[in-house]
Amino acid sequence: MPNNPVITEHFRCGSREPLLFLLGPCVIESREMILDIAEEIATIRDELGIQVVFKASFDKANRTSIDSYRGPGMEKGLTILRQVTEQTGLATTTDIHEPAQAEPVAQVCKIVQIPAFLARQTDLVRETANATARHGGVVNVKKPQFIAPQDMEHIIRKCEESGQSNILATERGTTFGYGHLVNDMQAIPVLQQLGCPVVFDATHSVQKPGGKTTGGNRKMIPYLARAAVACGADAIFMETHPNPDQALSDGPNMLPLSHLKKIIQQLLAIRVLVNEWSESLA
């Protein structure tokens, strides 16, 4: 069985543990921007006493349009993410798209994320599991939009058979018709029955796929995040940006950085109630 809780030197994530937050912009736009956002998130971490892993992508390989900004690339991106840890103490996470990226990314990032569209790619899953296990890290697999939550069992088994038991499973919505995602909160306890701590991606869940660039409705982020924590999610993933309307990727479904602290405070309060209720049933 996967480890629950997942324990590293930076955080504990799992049943009855404090919430873990995965926070940061969609893509690395510049070194200066990333370090500024990381500093602000680190300040919130210190003020609220929360567990945070900083997230930003070095390459958005799944952009809809060939003309869309993808990021600085792996080498430069990892240098920036390493600077985030050195400057703020925040552990980092990023997504990868090719098996060859697993080893160098696992050397820098505590959590390596497998995108939803690629989660059934066996070579990618196995290399990521191997690399993160070697470096004492964690693999975070996003549930594809096109599979049922119980079918994540097979992806989790691939990770375990590759030597990795520190696995997070992320719920991020399910395709419904054309250009729309829905969130069935039953997916959270179903995924937890597979043994993993569960992350809820509150920002990609409000995406509206289709068109030249992906749309979204960021006003729905707090509602989905609160519902997910009430349903027992162990971690919350939220992309955030100082000015989402000017962001180079996924602006419509990113949370304004100025709103982040208030929403986190709400989620922490809900988590306390959920843990108290769970203990009363134990």
How do the pLDDT tens digits run along the chain, 282 residues long? 899 999 999 999 999 999 999 999 999 999 999 999 999 999 999 999 999 999 999 998 776 677 678 999 999 999 999 999 999 999 999 999 999 999 999 999 999 999 999 999 999 999 999 999 999 999 999 999 999 999 999 999 999 999 999 999 999 999 988 878 899 999 999 999 999 999 999 999 998 876 666 678 999 999 999 999 999 999 999 999 999 999 998 899 999 999 999 999 999 999 999 988 876 665
Three-class DSSP category at 161: helix
pTM over 0.75: yes
C-beta separation of 274 from 232 below 8 A = yes
What burial class does residue 27 get, using C-beta atoms within 10 Å of its C-beta: 0-12 exposed, 13-18 middle, 19+ buried? buried
Q: Which CATH superfamily is domain 6-281 in?
A: Aldolase class I (3.20.20.70)
Work out the number of other CB atoms within 10 angstroms of the CB of residue 160: 14
- Rounded-to-integer distance, Cα 160 and Cα 186, Å: 24
